[in-house]
Chains A and B, each alone.
Chain A
C-alpha cells in the first residue's frame, strides 16, 4: 500500500515538473509574438530609445536620444496608437504593400494546392517504377534551397518575358513540388478499399477523386495550404530578384529592410502583417494538427 502511494506521489511529482518545464518553454516560444504585439503600442520615441543602438549607425543624427544598451521591453510606458495611425492612415504605402502580398500569396496558395491535389492523386492512386522515379525527382526539387533554383527561375522568367512581373513569382510557385510531396504522402495512407469499393459501384476516376479522395484529405489540404501560405507570406528573396519595380514588393520585403529606417513603425507593421496568419491559425489550428498527422503517423 505504502509502495503504491509513494509511486503515485512520484508520478504526480514528475507530472508537475513536466508541466512547469513545458509551461516555461511554451512561454519562451510565445515571447516574440507577445513582444511584437505589446511593442506595437509604444510610441516611436520609446522604441528608438530602447532599440536604437541596433540601428545607430544608420541614423547618426538621432544619436542623442539613443541609449547605448538595448532594452528588451515588454510593457510600454504609455499605450499609444501612434504607430498604427502612421501605418494605417498617414501613409498608404504600407496598405499597398500589404495588398501586394495578398495578390501574390493567395493565388500561389490556392493554385498550388489545387494542382498538387490532382498530381498527388496521380502519384498515390497508381504506382509504378517511372512514377516512383518522377516522385523522387519531385522530392529532390522540393529539397533544393531557393538559391539553387534561383538561376533556372531567372532564366525562365526572362525567356517567357515575365521577368519583373508578378507572374515570375506566382507561376513557378504554383508548380512547387512541396505540397505535391506532402499530399501524396497523405493520400497514400487512404485505404485502397475505399477506392475499390467506389470503382465497383461504377464511379469514374474523377468522381472518386472528387467525392472520396478530396473529402478525406480536406484537413490535410487545409494544413498544407496553411504551411504554403505562411512560407510565401514571408518571402524575401524572390521579389528582390525577380521584381524590378519596388512598388510591387510585398510587405515582407519591406519588413526585412526596416532596420535601416523607420524602426519605430516596425512592430505595428509586423502586427498588421501577422493578422492574416493569426486568423488562419485560429481557424485552422485543429486542421494543422490533424491534417499532417494523417501523413506522418500510421493510419488508425
Chain B
C-alpha cells in the first residue's frame, strides 16, 4: 500500500522540488487510500484466494493440480449450458435495450403533451420491489395465466412460457421492461445536450437526416451509449434475481444462467468448481470491458471538450 503512495505520475514541474513532489503524490493518493484498502480487503485479496483455490484439488489437503479444475469445468455440461445461455441472453438483450431506448428517446424528444408524466411512468420499474414484479410476471406467464387466456381468445393453444424455449423471450421482456425506461431517460437528457448549432449547420449544408444522425448525433451520444451499455450489462447480470424468484434453483434449461450454476455449486460446497468458474468469468469480463474501454478511449474522448 504505502509504497504505491510515493509513486505519483511525474508532472512537468516536478524537478523543482523533490520533497514537494512526494508530498503532492501523497496528497493525491490519500484521496484513494480508504477505498483502496477496503477494496483490497473485501475484493482483491479474497479474489486472490479464489484463484489459489481454483488450482488445488481440495482445500484440506491442498494438492496443486494446475489447470485441472478448469479442464474439468470446460467439460461440465451444466457450466457450458449456463455460459451459453448467459452469453446469448446478455448478447441479445443488452444491445436490444440500448437500441430500443435510444430510438424511444429520439421519438419522445419531440413535443408531445404530458411528457413529464410519461417520463415518470417510465421510471416506475425502478421503484417496485422485484418480488412483487415477479408475482405479476408469474400471473401473466403462468400456464393458466393471463397471456394464455388472451391467446386462447384467438384460438391459440396454451403455451407453457416458462418451461419451453419461450422462456428466452420472457426473460428478454422482463429485462426490457426493467431497463428501457431508465436508459431512455439517460438518452433523452443526452440528446438535449447535443449542440443545436452544429446540427443546424449540417442541415443547412444539405446533410441528410441519416448523415446528421450517424456523424453528429451518434458521435455526441457515444459516451452515453457506452455508459448505458455498461449499466445494462450490470442489470442483465442482476436478472438472475428475477429468474431465481420466478423459477427457483433449477429453471427450464434455456433459463439456466451462469448465476444459477454458481449458486448451486456454492450450495453444494464445491469450492474448486466455483472458484475456477469465477476466475474464468472474470477473465471474460476483463476482455469485454477492455474492448469497451478502448472503444470509449478511441471514439468518445475527443468529443468531450
Q: Say how far B206's CB is from chain A's closest CB, in angstroms.
A: 19
Asked if B212 lies at the interface with its beta carbon under 8 angstroms from chain A, I say: no
**A72→B140 contact, CB < 8 A:** yes
Chain A: number of interface residues, binned into ranges: 35 or more
> Provided the pairs A15-B111, A138-B39 are in contact, do residues A122 and B29 lie with their beta carbons within 8 angstroms?
yes
Asked if B12 lies at the interface with its beta carbon under 8 angstroms from chain A, I say: no
* A28-36, A57-65, A79-87, A102-110 - the one binding chain B: A28-36
A298: contacting residue among B129, B185, B266, B304, CB under 8 A: B304
Asked if A292 lies at the interface with its beta carbon under 8 angstroms from chain B, I say: yes
| Chain A residues near B187 (CB-CB < 8 A) | 296
**B139→A54 contact, CB < 8 A:** yes
**A118→B35 contact, CB < 8 A:** yes
Asked if A128 lies at the interface with its beta carbon under 8 angstroms from chain B, I say: yes
**A69→B144 contact, CB < 8 A:** yes
Interface membership of chain B positions 217-245, coded 1 if the CB is closer than 8 angstroms to chain A and 0 otherwise: 00010011001101001100110110011
Interface membership of chain B positions 112-123, coded 1 if the CB is closer than 8 angstroms to chain A and 0 otherwise: 111001111111
Asked if A202 lies at the interface with its beta carbon under 8 angstroms from chain B, I say: no
CA distance A75 to B189 in the complex (A): 36
CA distance A231 to B139 in the complex (A): 24
**B38→A256 contact, CB < 8 A:** no
* B14-22, B61-69, B71-79, B271-279 - the one binding chain A: B271-279
B120: contacting residue among A155, A252, A285, CB under 8 A: A285
CA distance A121 to B29 in the complex (A): 11
| Chain B residues near A300 (CB-CB < 8 A) | 193
List A138-190 residues whose CB lies under 8 Å from chain B.
138-153, 155-156, 171-172, 174-175, 177-178, 180, 185, 189
CA distance A53 to B149 in the complex (A): 14
| Chain A residues near B4 (CB-CB < 8 A) | 130
Asked if A89 lies at the interface with its beta carbon under 8 angstroms from chain B, I say: no
CA distance A19 to B126 in the complex (A): 23
Asked if A88 lies at the interface with its beta carbon under 8 angstroms from chain B, I say: no
**A29→B43 contact, CB < 8 A:** no
Interface membership of chain B positions 21-63, coded 1 if the CB is closer than 8 angstroms to chain A and 0 otherwise: 0000001111110111011011111110110010000000000
**A18→B110 contact, CB < 8 A:** yes
**A36→B136 contact, CB < 8 A:** yes
| Chain A residues near B134 (CB-CB < 8 A) | 256
List B248-305 residues whose CB lies under 8 Å from chain A.
258-259, 262-263, 266, 271, 274-275, 278, 281-282, 285-286, 289-290, 293, 303-304
B129: contacting residue among A155, A189, A252, A259, CB under 8 A: A252
Most chain B CB atoms below 10 A, which of A29, A137, A233: A29
Asked if A266 lies at the interface with its beta carbon under 8 angstroms from chain B, I say: yes
**B42→A259 contact, CB < 8 A:** no
CA distance A35 to B251 in the complex (A): 26
Q: Say how far A184's CB is from chain B's closest CB, in angstroms.
A: 11
Asked if A283 lies at the interface with its beta carbon under 8 angstroms from chain B, I say: no
CA distance A151 to B189 in the complex (A): 39
B contact patch SS: helix
| Chain B residues near A148 (CB-CB < 8 A) | 262, 278, 281-282
Most chain A CB atoms below 10 A, which of B126, B127, B293: B127
**B31→A119 contact, CB < 8 A:** yes
| Chain B residues near A23 (CB-CB < 8 A) | 114, 118
Residue of B nearest to A150 (CB): B266
Asked if B159 lies at the interface with its beta carbon under 8 angstroms from chain A, I say: no
> Provided the pairs A22-B118, A36-B136 are in contact, do residues A29 and B35 lie with their beta carbons within 8 angstroms?
no
> Provided the pairs A258-B131, A293-B190 are in contact, do residues A145 and B304 lie with their beta carbons within 8 angstroms?
no
**A297→B192 contact, CB < 8 A:** yes
| Chain A residues near B240 (CB-CB < 8 A) | 145, 147
CA distance A121 to B28 in the complex (A): 10
**B245→A256 contact, CB < 8 A:** yes
CA distance A140 to B165 in the complex (A): 31
| Chain A residues near B199 (CB-CB < 8 A) | none
**B241→A22 contact, CB < 8 A:** no
A288: contacting residue among B123, B245, B271, B304, CB under 8 A: B123
Q: Say how far B9's CB is from chain A's closest CB, in angstroms.
A: 3
Asked if B128 lies at the interface with its beta carbon under 8 angstroms from chain A, I say: yes
**B189→A15 contact, CB < 8 A:** no
**A151→B278 contact, CB < 8 A:** yes
**B282→A144 contact, CB < 8 A:** yes
Q: Say how far A160's CB is from chain B's closest CB, in angstroms.
A: 8
CA distance A33 to B193 in the complex (A): 31
Asked if A270 lies at the interface with its beta carbon under 8 angstroms from chain B, I say: yes
* Shortest 3 CB-CB contacts between residues of A and residues of B: A122-B31, A128-B9, A152-B46
List 28 contacting pairs A-B, 8 Å CB cutoff, sorted by A: A23-B118, A26-B117, A32-B125, A54-B135, A69-B149, A70-B139, A126-B8, A126-B9, A128-B9, A129-B9, A131-B9, A148-B278, A150-B262, A151-B53, A152-B46, A155-B46, A175-B35, A177-B39, A230-B126, A236-B245, A255-B131, A256-B130, A270-B132, A277-B127, A289-B119, A293-B189, A293-B190, A296-B224
Residue ranges of B at the interface with A (Cβ–Cβ < 8 Å): 4, 7-9, 27-32, 34-36, 38-39, 41-47, 49-50, 53, 104, 107-108, 110-114, 117-136, 138-140, 142, 144-146, 149, 177, 180-181, 185-187, 189-190, 192-195, 220, 223-224, 227-228, 230, 233-234, 237-238, 240-241, 244-245, 258-259, 262-263, 266, 271, 274-275, 278, 281-282, 285-286, 289-290, 293, 303-304
Taking A119-B32, A175-B35, A292-B189 as known contacts, 10 extra A-B pairs with beta carbons closer than 8 A to each other, sorted by chain A number, are A15-B112, A29-B124, A32-B133, A35-B136, A151-B274, A156-B45, A231-B238, A252-B131, A259-B245, A274-B132
